[in-house]
Amino acid sequence: MKPKLIIILFAIGGLINSPQIYAQQYNQELIDSLIKNSTQTQVAKASKFLISGFTTFNGKFSNNQSTFSDVGFTPILLWKPHEKILVEVEMETAIMGNATNIELGYADASFFVNKYLTIRAGKFLAPFGIFQDRLHPSWINKLPTVPLANGEDELAFGPVSEIGFDFRGGAQIGASKINYSFFVSNNAALITDPAIPSKQGTLSYGNVDVQSKKLSYGGRVGLLPIENSSLEIGFSYRYGNVGDTSYNYKSVKAAMYAVDFSYINPIDIIKGTLDIKAQWNKANIDNASYLDPGDPTGSTWYTFDNKRTSFFSQAAYRPTMSQSKFLKKTELVFRYAGFNPPTGAKDLQEIRQYTYGINYWFNWRTAFKAAYQSEKNNNAIFIQIAVGF
C-alpha cells in the first residue's frame, strides 16, 4: 500500500532530519560568525545536494511497425546531510500510451558505519547480478534494448528492487578485492492472475503490502582477483516466501541464483578497450496450482515445474587508443541473450536473442545508439539517444 511507503520514507527522512535540525541551530551561530568575517562562500559549500539522472528517447523500426517510443526522464536526487550519510532517490517518469507514468525507482539512505560496512535502508536496487544494480541506466547500458528476461521486460523474473535493509562493503585481500551486499527485505509476491498466463508463477518485487511471517533475504559476493580490478565475478542468491499469509499460496517459496562476470581492460594490440559483461539467472519456485486461463468457467487448475533460467553475455569494443577523434568515440557491441521457460508453463517458449549495436559517444554519458536485434520472427532496428546529466 502506498501510505506505508510514505510512512517509511517519512521515517527515513525523520532519522536523517534530526541531526539536521541540530546542525541548523549550530549552523546559525556559525553563519553569524561567518557573516562577521565576510566569508559567506563557506556556507554555500556546506550544503551538499546534487541533481543527477538521465533522459532517454527510443525508436523502433521493423517490417510491420515504426514507432518512437519510451520517452523517459529519470531524475536522481543525491543529498549528503552528514559526512557519513547519503540519501539517494530515483524517480522514473515515462510516457506510457498517452499518459505519464511516475515510479519510485529507489529511495534509500546509506550510513557509512565504518571502513568495511555501509548500511542502506529503504527501497534500493536489488544486489542480484549486475544488470539491474549497475547497468540499467540508459547512459550505461551499451545497447538501446534491455537483455531479454534479464531486465524489466515481460519475461524477466529476477529482483529489480528490494524494500528493507542492506549491508554492504568492500575490502582488499592482498592485491585482490572482495565486495559483499547482504539484504533482508519484504517478500516478493507470486503472480497468479490468469489474465496474463505467461506471468502466472512469476514474481513482483519491491512491494510494501506483502504480508508474511518471515522476511526474504539474499545478497551478492563479488571477487576481483586481478590486481588491476579488470575482472569481477559475482555470485548472488535470494530466498523467501512468495505467497500471502492469508492465501492458498502461503507456503510457496522461491530460491534464485545468479552468477555474473565483468571484464574490462584497455588492450594495446587491439588499440582499444574490451568490455565483457555476462549474467546467468535461475529461479526455482515451489510448485503451485494456478487457474487455467483456457477454461472460461474458471474452475480448472493446472501446475508445472516452475524452474526457469535466463542469461546474457555482451562484448563491446571501443578503439580508445586510435588516432582518429571519430573512431575513439565509436563503439561496437554484440549481445547474446536467452530465456528457458519452465516446461508446462502457459504461453512461454524458449527464446534466443542476438543484438548487434553501434554507438557514438558525444561525451562520457551522452550517446547515440543504433542496433539490430533478432529473435525468432521478431527482428527490428532500434535507435536511442541517452543523455546522463
Partner 1 sequence: MKRNILIIVFAIIITMGLVFASCVSSKVTDKSGSQLWAQNCMRCHNSPPSSAFTNTQWNIISSHMRQRAMLTETESKKILEFLQTGD
Interacting residues with partner 1 (CB under 8 A) = 45, 48-50, 78-80, 86, 88, 110, 112, 115, 118, 120, 133-135, 139-140, 168-177, 179-181, 222-223, 225-233, 259, 262, 264, 273, 361, 364-365
Phi, psi (deg, nearest 5) at residue 161: -140, 165
Residue 108 CB-half CA count within 13 A: 22
- Residue closer to ligand HEC (CB basis): 90 or 275: 90
By CB under 6 A, tell whether 52 contacts ligand HEC.
yes
Residues 203 to 232 in contact with ligand HEC, rule: CB under 6 A? none
Smallest separation, CB 45 to partner 1 (Å): 6
Question: Would you give the DSSP letter of residue 208?
Answer: S
Residue 288, binding choice from partner 1, ligand HEC, none, Cβ under 5 to 8 Å by partner class: none
Helix (H) or strand (E) holding 326: helix 325-328
The set of residues, in sequence order, having a beta carbon less than 8 Å from that of 290 and lying 6+ positions away, is 192, 194, 200, 201, 301, 302, 303
- Residue 190: strand pairing partners: 203
Say if CB 136 and CB 126 are below 8 A apart.
no
By CB under 6 A, tell whether 76 contacts ligand HEC.
yes
What cell does 132 get?
A: 539491474
- Residue closer to ligand HEC (CB basis): 168 or 199: 168
Site string for ligand HEC, 282-311 (x = CB under 6 A): ------------------------------
For ligand HEC, which residue of 70, 90, 108, 244 counts as binding (CB under 6 A)? 90
Q: How far apart are CA 333 and CA 337, in angstroms?
A: 13
Using DSSP, state whether 13 is helix, strand or coil.
helix
- Residue closer to partner 1 (CB basis): 16 or 191: 16
Smallest separation, CB 303 to partner 1 (Å): 25
Helix (H) or strand (E) holding 50: strand 49-62
Residue 90, binding choice from partner 1, ligand HEC, none, Cβ under 5 to 8 Å by partner class: ligand HEC
Residues 135 to 164 in contact with ligand HEC, rule: CB under 6 A? 137, 140
- Residue closer to ligand HEC (CB basis): 76 or 386: 76
Residue pointed to by grid coordinates 547512459: 139
Say if CB 97 and CB 104 are below 8 A apart.
no
Give the binding site for ligand HEC (CB under 6 A).
52, 76, 78, 90, 134, 137, 140
